[in-house]
Structure 1
Amino acid sequence: MIIQKIIDSFGITEFFILFGLTLTTYIFTFYYNYLTRPNPFPGPLPLPFIGNLHNIVDIKLFYEQCQQKYGDICEIMFNGCRCIIISRSDYMEKFLYPTTYFMKIPYLQGIEEFGFYGRGMVFNNDYKSWYYHRQFFTQALLTPKLMDTAINSTKQLFEELSGYWQSLGMQNTLSNNKEDNNNWTLETDFSAWLHGFANDLVSIVITGERTYAIASYYNTQSIIKSEHAGALVSDGNKFVNAAVKFINDIAFYMFVGPFMRHYVPIIRNMTIPMLKNRDYVFERFDMMVKNRRKMIDELPTDTEMKSDMLTSLITANTPRNTIKVKTVDDEMLKPMDDKQIRTNLVEAILGGTDTTSNLFCYMTYYVCKHPHAKQKMLLEIDSVFSKLSKKFSVSQEDISKLKYCKAIIKETNRLIPTAFMTTRYIGEEREFSGYKWPAGTQLHLNFIAANKHPKIWTNPEIFDPDRFYDDNKYSLKFNDKNLMMFGGSQRICPGRKLAMTELLLLMALVFKNYNVELVNKNEPIKIKTGLTINCEELKVKISPRI
């Protein structure tokens, strides 16, 4: 009653005065805590409520500029939390490789709202749960049968892709001789094809079924439609675009707090379509799980099960179990629920699609801008695979011989890493660089800057695959710890061998059979940074290599 009387006695002027005093007190406290923080490092000045969000127009560029302006260790503020940016690979080893830095992020309400926190691997800080899913991924992705499936599917999808390119090239090329199948040129967006191709391929490897994404994109470009049933391809391209958007939106939910997402008008209007897109993506994956579960239930008990990852996830710890997984807790030895299965599928399919397609686009961009590297790549491909046969056989042993191609992939990832940074979280007090870091400190490991650090890399801005092909050319020796490509420690990407195999084979298939040139060599590549660095467009000219 007393409080009510005080409120009733307030006029408009008093309310404004109280609001002003409260705001002033908050701002004073905010900057007092900021200026008296332990172990201060240089960094851009944060603002109350939003931290350093105002500094970010291009998040990739922001992290590069932080290293250039503030040094190898600096700090920023997101979501009300202090974040230390580490921008040198030899410093990162202390946080990537010891198991004491297992935790990736603290609890984030945004990640839970987006449907990821505490499940699968990427945003799971429960070691027992994470270890179980990690073992599952590793065993599922490294089976010889799955690798053979990946190789055969890559070849089959490429033959289909080649047919689409030829069809569009013949439609778009003004030629008197329409019977000459080698006399055409196609100007197209390479990134759209690669995102569709990677989505089809990864979906086949993980679920045993394809999304018909490349057929769907072809139908949007051609007056002649794909031979696949319309119902199968009708929304394949829509799903790929939604998946790319979904991955980019995760970063927004990591860095923007719940108050701003739900109550600040402009930002709230951004979150609504993000959540709708999330729901669409989840519905697609839920349908995959539902249909496969029904198929499994209807099979006789003595029927041999498929070897794909989706089947293994559904049958985990059931009488039909196809993969035996070690665990540190017997409580994990129970069937996965549909949300756990969905999270694993999302991480496997979208993670594999995004990194593979983007990295291949960036590799294409760089080799087309550097004729010497391109010619050296072609000589290696032609030496390993016969130039006379269009449909050549291929084995994992053949793929392993593409050493210069592998160097190109590594050098490309050095210049444009598909994941520009990763995070670590200190759960208890640790000492580093002469300082004691309190529990709760968040670390951002800045790959984009570390991969071009002038004290680690010779001529860091220059594209030169020889740095991974002939170490003797350089004064410094390089190894995988210097190159932040697949992460490190227990959280290193479990699909790295599969991803490298797919990339190398696709390089051989594309560049053995086609001339690929940039439409405009002087135009910078169009990218957008979210959780990963995504290639939005790459205009190329494609013609048969005779």
Structure 2
Amino acid sequence: MSLHKYFENLNFVDYFHLVVLFILFYAIKFYYKYFTRPNKLPGPLPLPIIECAYCFRGDIKQLFVSLNKKYGDIYEIQLGGYRRIVLSRPEHIEKFFNNSTKYAKFMPRAPYSRGMKELLMGAKGLVSSDDFKSWKFNRQFFIRAILSPSFNNEAIKWTKLLFEELEGYWKSLGSANGDGKEWTLETDFSKWIHRFTNDMIVVSTTGERSYSIGSYYNTLSPIKAPYPDALIEDSDRFIKGMKQLMVGSALFVFLSPFIRHYVPFIRGKTKALLKNRDFIFEKVNKVIKKRRQEIEAMQTKDLKKDMLTSLIIANTERDVNYKKAVGEEIYPPMTDFEIRANILEAFGAGTDTTANLFSYINYYLCHYPEVKQKMLAEINSIFPQNSSFQLVHSDLSKLKYCEAIIKEVERMIPVANLLGRYPTEPIEVGGYLWPANTMFQFDLVSLHRHKDYWPNPEIFDPDRFFLDNNKSESYLNVKNDDLKDDYNEKDDQNVGQKYSFVMFGGGYRICPGRKLAMIELLSLMVYVFGKYNIELIDMEAPLKTRSSTITSCQELMVRIKPRNQ
């Protein structure tokens, strides 16, 4: 009897028994694999199909904090088809974050994803690349562009120009019901800062303006921003498109190609995301093409100082620093495909993280007036109130207490909740030898508040970093981010101190944009708090956040008025 004839003879009860048998077989196989796994660790019991998703209550940060309290500093959880080993103790993450080429290993952030390759068309940037040669090639040029003095000076200049635009909008809105001399504005601070950081990252990486601050202003005021409507609308569409691309990436990570392209409801979302991706790619491709044409028509001394220009001229006759930066190793110029990948990663990484952290800085300063006064005293000692000044990098490096505030806020409420590594070789962690292709997650919230390394971890106290300069490096003064063997045996004695705070990650994959982030944050502290009094409208209201892989500020209602009123 053929298989087709066999199924024709089955009745409903037979089909029911087959389904039950299939489910039973799957469950037995699932639990056999679970109970015979190597290095059994504590953790929630996974269920077939849904794994440990039943533990999730809508907030990723709270999920891992609660699991840490229940299971300790090393435990396991199954999510998204992978057994994840969760670590929140400095000694456990040391091997992943050690900078030494003698001890460190290049590790992908996550397993290979066919979905992400489809979404990003095989982009070979820094974040998603799991090929060391390609990653190193891109990193060499990325860090040369973003750590150059000229790039940093341009970043400081644009911070000033964009803030002047921002405060013009604040004054316009605040003066709408007053005499224009004394004004107060009640507004959602987080919305403004997200728009500011978006415009900042776009202009600093591409040299091209976006107008998202003006776009937000237009939604609040009958008087419109002094830019053509087409520019405002184009900026707004690009912002929304980038957010859609970032949020929609989860669909390509966690769902199979069959579900993405053939299940009716999800298929529509997939098509919309791919259409949006094509729009984003087309916009960036046009900017790259335009800049190539500009470079061909310019003298070397006239070239712009943005990241895009540096990536385009890398390893060409226009690259005056090529031999000095790369040495004997020969690299070809970057393709438009690679340039686009790096630019898009800069857009994604440089907007929400900085905006959310600055929103949290404002929140904590409002709740700790003594810290705010100490910060203002430092700012006023370098930049006297009501005086004109030209902000320069050397001035920012003097803001030691401001930098301590930034670090303490990041310790209290890390913007990134989780980091991941996926070693392709066996590795010993926590007293266990783990096979290759084990997924590790670092719980930064629990790490940054670990009671063994932080006295009174729930108390906000910037003096932890201000009085103890060895607690972490100064990200503002990063000068060389190349891959070098900087291991020091003395570091072995300070593992807890060194790895109990990882603001920008660590090891090979430490954030290459950390210096730009600190320049932007410190500059904003000088401009915003040096010139304006900002207070929360409701001091009793809880901080409104939403947590996935990062913790986003959803709203921060404040009252703004000039300090000299």
Same fold? TM cut 0.5: yes
Counterpart CA distance in 1 for 2:508 and 2:192 is: 33
Q: CA deviation at 1:380?
A: 1.0
Moved more, 93-102 or 454-463: 93-102
The Cα of 1:538 is off from its aligned counterpart by 1.2
Q: Using a 3 Å threshold, how does the CA distance of structure 1 residues 322 and 358 change in structure 2: closer, same or farther?
A: farther
Give matches, 1:98-247, under 5 Å. 98-115=103-120, 119-171=124-176, 173=177, 175=178, 178=179, 180-181=180-181, 183-247=182-246
Q: Indicate whether 1:343 and 2:348 are aligned.
A: no
Contact persistence 2:300–2:318 (CA under 8 A):
no
Distance in 2, matches of 1:439 and 1:274, equals 33
Q: 1:64 to 1:367 in 2, by over 3 A?
A: same
Counterpart amino acid of residue 224 in structure 1? I
Aligned residue in 2 for 1:95? 96
Shift of the 315–30 alpha-carbon distance from structure 1 to 2, 3 Å rule, reads same
Equivalent residues in 2 for 1:34-433, closer than 5 Å: 34-56=34-56, 57-97=58-98, 98-115=103-120, 119-171=124-176, 173=177, 175=178, 178=179, 180-181=180-181, 183-251=182-250, 253-255=252-254, 261=260, 274-275=273-274, 277-296=276-295, 299=297, 304-321=302-319, 324=322, 326=326, 333-389=331-387, 391-433=388-430
Which residue identity does 1:240 align to in structure 2?
I
C-alpha separation between the residues in 1 aligned to 2:517 and 2:427? 35
How far the C-alpha of 1:277 sits from its partner, in A, is 4.5
For residues 274 and 44 of structure 1, what CA distance do their matches in structure 2 show?
34
Whole-Å separation in 1 of the counterparts to 2:267 and 2:51: 18
Structure 1 counterpart SS, 2:351: helix
Letter in 2 for 1:522: E
2:515 aligned residue: 497
1: distance between equivalents of 2:208 and 2:427? 47
Q: Which amino acid aligns with 2:149?
A: P
**AA aligned opposite 2:135:** W
Count of aligned positions? 535
Q: Using a 3 Å threshold, how does the CA distance of structure 1 residues 509 and 116 change in structure 2: closer, same or farther?
A: farther
Which residue of the other structure, out of 544, 557, 561, is the alignment partner of 1:526?
A: 544
User: Given the superposition, is the C-alpha separation of residues 159 and 199 from structure 1 closer, same or farther in structure 2, using an over 3 Å criterion?
Assistant: same
Post-superposition shift, 1:103?
2.6
Aligned to 2:533: 515
Matching of residue 506 in structure 1 with residue 524 in structure 2: yes
Q: Which residue of 1 aligns with 2:490?
A: none
- Give the aligned residue type for 2:326: K
CA distance in 2, matches of 1:242, 1:249: 10
Which string of whole-angstrom CA distances, capped at 9 and with x for unpartnered residues, describes residues 238-287 of structure 1?
Answer: 43344344334445544555566556677667656555554443343233
CA RMSD of aligned residues (A): 2.7
Give the deviation of 1:161 after TM superposition: 0.9
Note if contact 2:206-2:308 (Cα within 8 Å) is conserved in structure 1. yes
CA contact (8 A) 2:532 2:560 kept: yes
Q: Secondary structure at the match of 2:394?
A: helix
Structure 1 stretches lacking a partner, 5+ long:
none
Farther off after superposition, 451-460 or 288-297: 288-297
Q: Which amino acid aligns with 1:43?
A: G
Contact 1:248 1:531 in 2 (8 A): no
Find the aligned partners of 1:534 and 1:141 in 2 and give their Cα distance: 25
Cα 1:327–1:24, aligned 2, differ >3 Å: closer, same or farther?
farther
**C-alpha deviation, 1:386, in angstroms:** 1.0
Distance 2:363 2:328 in 1: 45
Bigger drift between 14-23 and 210-219 goes to 14-23
Distance 1:207 1:59, change over 3 A: same
User: Do 2:142 and 2:311's aligned partners in 1 also have CA atoms closer than 8 Å?
Assistant: no
Distance 1:41 1:270, change over 3 A: farther
| Partner in structure 2 of residue 33 of structure 1 | 33
Which shows bigger deviation, 198-207 or 251-260? 251-260
Give the distance between the partners of 1:285 and 1:423, measured in 2 at CA.
Answer: 28
Question: Percent identity among equivalent residues?
Answer: 46
CA spacing shift, 1:422–1:18, aligned 2, 3 Å:
same
SS at match of 2:227: coil
**In the TM superposition, what is the alpha-carbon distance from 1:367 to its structure 2 partner?**
0.7
- The 3 A distance-change label for structure 1 pair 520 and 40 is same
Q: Is the 8 A contact 1:198 1:353 kept in 2?
A: yes
Identify which range, 340-349 or 282-291, moves more after superposition. 282-291
Change (3 A) 1:117 1:534: farther
TM-score computed with the length of structure 1 as normaliser:
0.91
Equivalence for 2:13: 13
- Code of the aligned partner of 1:313: L
Report the Cα distance in structure 2 between the residues aligned to 1:144 and 1:77, rounded to whole angstroms: 45
CA distance in 1, matches of 2:430, 2:360: 35
Q: Which letter does structure 2 place at the counterpart of 1:158?
A: F
- 2:2 maps to which residue? 2
Deviations 1:503-527 (A, max 9, x none): 1011010001101111112212222
> Which amino acid in structure 2 is aligned with residue 213 of structure 1?
S
Distance 2:250 2:459 in 1: 29
C-alpha separation in 2, matches of 1:247 and 1:6: 48
Q: Residue 450 in 1 paired to residue 447 in 2?
A: yes
CA 373–542 in structure 1, closer or farther in 2 if over 3 Å, else same: same
Identify if the C-alpha distance between structure 1 residues 469 and 265 changes in structure 2 by more than 3 Å, giving closer, same or farther. Answer: farther
Q: State how far apart, in whole Å, the 1-side matches of 2:279 and 2:369 are.
A: 43
Q: Which residue of 2 aligns with 1:23?
A: 23
What are the superposed Cα offsets for residues 65-105 of structure 1, whole Å, 9 maximum, x if unpaired?
12111110111112321110001223211222142253322
> Which has the higher mean CA deviation after the structures are superposed, 232-241 or 31-40?
232-241
Q: Tell me, which stretches of 5 or more residues in structure 2 are unaligned?
A: 472-492
CA contact (8 A) 1:420 1:448 kept: yes
Equivalent residues of 1:188, 1:539 under 8 A apart: yes
Q: Which amino acid aligns with 2:285?
A: D
Partner-residue secondary structure (3-state), 1:235: helix
Structure 1's 281 and 307: CA in aligned 2 closer, same or farther, altered over 3 A? same
Contact 1:248–1:530 (Cα < 8 Å) also in 2: no
Looking at structure 2, the residues matched to 118 and 38 of structure 1 have their Cα atoms a distance apart, in angstroms, of 34
Conserved 8 A contact 1:154-1:502: yes
Tell me what 2:433 maps to: 436
| Residues 62/458 of structure 1: CA separation in 2 closer, same or farther (3 Å cut) | same
Q: Which moved more, 1:53-62 or 1:34-43?
A: 53-62
